[in-house]
Amino acid sequence: MIRNSIQYQIPPEFDGRTADRFLRAQGFSRHLLIQTKYQENGLLLDGISIRSNQKLHTGQTLRAVIPHLAPNENLLPVRLPLSIVYEDSDLIVLNKPAGMPVHPSQGHYDDTLSNALAYYYQQREEPFTARSVGRLDRDTSGVVLFSLNELSACILAEQMRHREIHREYRAICTGVLPESGCIRAPIARAHDSTIERIVDEARGEPAVTYFERLAVRNGFSLAAVRLETGRTHQIRVHMKHIGHPLPGDFLYNPDYTHIARQALHSYQLSFTHPITKQPMTFTAPIPEDMQALLS
């Protein structure tokens, strides 16, 4: 069941503070707080409806409604395979297959992860608004995180802004990578393309990629990759830049001899749960098409 309210017991450090001050400290955005306080019984203090400027006292119980946004009418629910890694009332973690976009776009209106989720929650008669936390390219596989309510969306967005959500990739690169390294090379949009990116010292935005070589097989290297920055196509561009492009990459190394898509996988995702504050780590095994390159 997707969360529609949350309850707090007021700790001593907020004794005498107002409800809106307290909720802002719990991660409510200004916009969400406005939505909440205009709901019927949006704020209840010990079961009594209050205004957001009500002062709180230690040990009291504050309940706040979490409004649901109206579902996107243009998001078509479609029955598609869905690999759920973890789910609770605040978030869902999925293992995205290669070839499936995260969100609809031109040419992909009904074959995305968001379409699959819309169908999944429609069957459960629960409201759902697609809100991914970070994105993966269509042909990149692996773990993807979605928030399921506006409060978790607010808190996870803040974690993203502060680089507190950590993703580790597995990439297969051509040739023998160094044992480890850090690539610092600014990335910009290519002059003659809307999607291609290039390393450009003059126009590029700062981009930093760390890698560690895990194995070498059949002329390919398996690498663990972490990003300090999140530029479009960063891993793909940086690996090409150092002479070790990913096989099967239609933009940067269109060699489909061994694999039909870029050999890139979102292997692990770590973050703090937006409500429980517990550390969370999820992994998705390397898919068969990438494993085949190393066997």
Positions annotated as catalytic residues are 137
CB contact at 8 A, 45 and 56: yes
Report the DSSP beta bridge partners of residue 270: 166, 281
Residues 142, 121: Cα–Cα separation, whole Å: 21
- Which three-class secondary structure state does DSSP give residue 14? helix
Residues 102, 282: Cα–Cα separation, whole Å: 18
- Which three-class secondary structure state does DSSP give residue 233? coil
- Nearest-Å Rg of the Cα atoms of the chain is 22
Listed in sequence order, the residues at least 6 apart from 73 whose beta carbon sits closer than 8 Å to its beta carbon are none
CB contact at 8 A, 53 and 19: yes
Phi, psi of 122, deg, nearest 5: -65, -40
